Amino acid sequence: MKIWLILLLLTFNISEAQIPNGVIIVQYNSDWNKANEIKVKKIKDVDILKLYLSEHPNIFEKNKIKYLPTLVLYKNKEEVIRIESDLSLELPENVSEIMYDEIEKLIKKRF
């Protein structure tokens, strides 16, 4: 029983990082650029998160976000792909397809 408690405590202590585990799409943006956000379709087993510069400046800095909006796909906290906006502050038109292709590749690798 003690071993279980120690393991659980250890596990929860380790899991306090800011980007959660698993496969996750994070859309980094700012309040003033919400018009250029894209709507990410819900995908099975993939979490979707929106982060705004005004609320999480540290995460933006830590993850070296230079362009807004930026879409990043993470797997277990490691960056898989990053898609950044251009000078028009818009993400490329095919951003969703690129993301889904990468997610497909990640899922396929597990089988």
Partner 1 sequence: MKINKDIKQLFLFIILFWSTAIMCVQAQQPEALGKKKFFKNLYESLFKYSTLYAAGNINNSYEAPVKDYFVRTNPDGGLYDIPVVVDGTEKNPFDYRYSIGVRKLARFDYEQKGKNFYDGTENNVGLSSPTAAYEGFEYVLNWEKERERGEEFNNSRLFIRHTGKNHILKLEQRERGNVDFKYKSAEARFRLPIGKMFSLSAGAIARTHEKAYGYNPVEIWLNETQVYDDGQGNVFEYPQNPWYTLGFQYGYDDHYVTITDEETGEVTNDWYWTDPEGEVIAYSDLDFRETVFADLMNRYNREIWNSLDAYAEIAPILGFDFYYFTNKFWVHSYASWIMPHHKYFKGDEDFSYLNRNNWGLGGLIQDSKLEQWDDYQAGFIFGAVVKKDIGVFVEGEYTKFWDSEIFNVHFGVNYILD
Binding site for partner 1 (CB under 8 A): 7, 11, 14-15, 21-22, 44-45, 76-78, 107-108, 110-111
- 78 vs 86, beta carbon nearer partner 1: 78
The helix/strand/coil state of 33 is: helix
- Report d(CA 70, CA 99) in Å as an integer: 12
Find the shortest distance in angstroms from Cβ 73 to partner 1.
16
- 1 vs 35, beta carbon nearer partner 1: 1
The helix/strand/coil state of 98 is: helix
Find the shortest distance in angstroms from Cβ 95 to partner 1.
23
- 86 vs 108, beta carbon nearer partner 1: 108
As beta bridge partners, residue 84 has 70
- 3 vs 87, beta carbon nearer partner 1: 3
Find the shortest distance in angstroms from Cβ 107 to partner 1.
7
**What does DSSP say about strands 70-75 and 23-29: parallel, antiparallel, or unpaired?**
antiparallel
**Nearest CA to 70 among 49, 85, 50, 48?**
85
Find the shortest distance in angstroms from Cβ 19 to partner 1.
11
CA atoms within 13 A on the CB side of 61: 5
